[in-house]
């Protein structure tokens, strides 16, 4: 074979190898969501790729047969194309045997370098950059190759399936999309600049609705403004002025016996019309939605949807009223700082290494603020105050502190056994070890 013919054949083999490399990497890297969008837009090739991804065994069998066959042929042709030429070139400086050996080595290195660069590295990088664009253009030629190599494909595919079955490995890729996948995509979108940080936070908050208990966002019973059934008109007016809310529970005798609720708009309408306000009037008091304190925020949203309400009273297993929740409370959890007023923030960052946190702040919000994955005994509490009680094994007092995860949690204010404010400070590594040791000594004593 002439050198020109050998060079042409090597170029053809490199092109074939590049084709198979592109086919391999583009199918593996192609995103199903993007392919599904293309198929919905009418691209029949994308639908064919989706079916191929469900059963990719034949595709990869053809790829491997092609790549290995081309590599073997490339070695044979390459040695014949350049070995003699390099040997003749080195004859003046080396003996005949040494020149032939060196010529073979140089020919091998040159041809191998061509294959690595043009048939492997370059195609794979291109395939990673635009996998969907490439795979829809390669799917039909590859399907033709599968038909042409059907006997080999059947033999090797069945052998591979048998080996996978013996090893107990799955034969198909798991294409189920989990919440972690979506959160990872949102995080990647934020890092790429496609999503703003606050938008990524909203997406993350949505997936937390199934894990956060309603008690983490409720208004505690101590802070609930309510009316008794026999509250006189004058006191109702004073209460509305002193504690302006949109909704007030109506109780019989005490807060644990909730009869319903009254909407502030109905009260204001009566005030504007100079009408008397009596909570004995059944047309003024509406039926209230009662929900258990163990429901998640997602379940509460479903309860709101079914009852066509946006206000609910939360009770515990002893039928004791523990708080109230509104639709706005749930949506504020999702939207975060997008709609939350600054004066109601439960977590205030003082500087780069310290935070002032309300004791009733939900532990999920504390984890986000401090960038912690979890706190110990996480299933035993829902607020920062609960975390401190569990860690100290008693009701905390002022100046009590807990060290964990590189942070010091120090109680600043306690009101009637309720933790109002906690100072959280980031500790240097050396101080963290010292404070942890001191805390262990205090716990031991």
CB under 8 Å, gap of 24 or more: what pairs does 332-336 form?
Answer: 332/217, 333/205, 333/208, 333/209, 333/212, 333/216, 333/217, 333/297, 334/202, 334/205, 334/206, 334/209, 335/202, 335/205, 336/198, 336/201, 336/202, 336/205
Residue 423, Cβ neighbours under 10 Å: how many?
16
User: Which of 320, 376, 306, 323 has the alpha carbon at shortest distance from 213?
Assistant: 323
| pLDDT tens profile 286-308 | 999 999 988 988 999 999 999 99
Residue 193, Cβ neighbours under 10 Å: how many?
7
- Side-chain half-sphere CA neighbours of 242 within 13 A: 9
Taking the C-alpha atoms of residue 423 and residue 429, their distance in angstroms, rounded to an integer, is 18
Mean pLDDT score, 140-154? 85
On whether the CB atoms of residues 350 and 356 are closer than 8 A, the answer is yes
Judge whether residue 339 has pLDDT over 50.
no
pTM over 0.85: no
On whether the CB atoms of residues 240 and 230 are closer than 8 A, the answer is no
Contacts of 384 (CB under 8 A, 6+ apart): 357, 358, 359, 360, 361, 363, 366, 409, 419, 422
Judge whether residue 215 has pLDDT over 90.
no
Mean pLDDT score, 130-136? 88
Residue 32, Cβ neighbours under 10 Å: how many?
17
Mean pLDDT score, 351-360? 88
Whole-number mean pLDDT of the chain?
82
Mean pLDDT score, 309-329? 90
pLDDT band at 338; cut points 50, 70, 90: very low
Mean pLDDT score, 156-181? 74
Indicate the range of 173-182, 224-233, 281-290, 316-325 predicted with least confidence. 173-182
Residue 367, pLDDT score: 87
Judge whether residue 220 has pLDDT over 70.
yes
Residue 407, pLDDT score: 92
Residue 119, pLDDT score: 80
Which residues are paired to 347 by β-bridges? 357
Q: Domain 214-327 in CATH: superfamily?
A: CBS-domain (3.10.580.10)
On whether the CB atoms of residues 217 and 300 are closer than 8 A, the answer is no
Q: Which H or E run includes 6?
A: helix 3-29
Mean pLDDT score, 65-80? 74
Which residues are paired to 324 by β-bridges? 219, 313
Residue 60, pLDDT score: 83
Beta strand 311-315 pairing with 321-326: antiparallel
Q: Where are the domains of the chain?
A: 3-167, 180-208, 214-327, 345-444
Domain 345-444 has CATH 3.20.20.80: no
Judge whether residue 157 has pLDDT over 50.
yes
Judge whether residue 7 has pLDDT over 90.
no
Percent of the chain residues past pLDDT 90, beyond the cut: 15
């Amino acid at each position: 074979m002439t050198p020109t013919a050998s060079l042409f054949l090597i170029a053809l083999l490199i092109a074939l190898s590049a084709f198979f490399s592109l086919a391999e990497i583009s199918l593996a890297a192609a995103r199903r969501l993007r392919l599904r969008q293309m198929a919905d837009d009418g691209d029949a090739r994308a639908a064919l790729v989706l079916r191929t991804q469900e059963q990719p065994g034949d595709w990869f069998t053809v790829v491997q047969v092609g790549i290995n066959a081309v590599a073997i042929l490339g070695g044979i042709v390459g040695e014949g194309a350049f070995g003699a030429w390099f040997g003749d070139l080195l004859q003046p400086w080396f003996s005949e045997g040494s020149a032939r050996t060196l010529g073979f080595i140089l020919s091998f290195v040159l041809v191998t370098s061509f294959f690595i660069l043009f048939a492997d590295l370059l195609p794979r990088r291109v395939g990673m950059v635009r996998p969907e664009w490439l795979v829809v253009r390669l799917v039909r030629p590859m399907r033709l190759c599968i038909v042409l190599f059907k006997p080999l494909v059947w033999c090797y595919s069945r052998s591979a399936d048998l080996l996978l079955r013996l090893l107990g490995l799955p034969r198909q890729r798991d294409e189920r999309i989990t919440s972690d996948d979506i959160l990872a995509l949102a995080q990647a979108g934020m890092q790429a600049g496609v999503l703003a940080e606050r938008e990524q936070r909203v997406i993350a908050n949505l997936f937390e609705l199934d894990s956060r208990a309603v008690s983490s966002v409720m208004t505690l019973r101590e802070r609930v403004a309510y009316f008794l059934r026999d509250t006189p008109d004058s006191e109702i007016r004073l209460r509305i002025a002193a504690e302006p809310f949109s909704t007030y529970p109506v109780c019989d005798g005490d807060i644990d016996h909730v009869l319903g609720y009254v909407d502030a708009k109905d009260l204001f309408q009566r005030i504007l019309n100079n009408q008397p306000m009596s909570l004995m009037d059944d047309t003024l008091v509406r039926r209230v939605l009662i929900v258990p304190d163990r429901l998640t925020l997602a379940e509460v949203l479903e309860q709101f949807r079914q009852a066509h309400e946006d206000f609910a009273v939360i009770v515990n297993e002893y039928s004791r009223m523990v708080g109230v929740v509104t639709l706005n409370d749930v949506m504020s959890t999702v939207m975060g700082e997008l709609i939350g007023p600054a004066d109601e923030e439960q977590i205030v960052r003082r500087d780069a290494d310290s935070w002032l946190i309300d004791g009733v702040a939900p532990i999920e919000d504390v984890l986000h603020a401090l960038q912690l994955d979890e706190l110990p005994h996480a299933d035993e509490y829902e607020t920062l105050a609960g975390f401190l009680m569990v860690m100290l094994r008693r009701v905390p007092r002022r100046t009590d502190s807990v060290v964990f995860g590189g942070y010091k949690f120090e109680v600043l204010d306690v009101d009637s056994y309720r933790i109002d404010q906690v100072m959280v400070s980031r500790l240097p590594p050396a101080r963290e070890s010292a404070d942890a040791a001191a805390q262990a000594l205090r716990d031991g004593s």
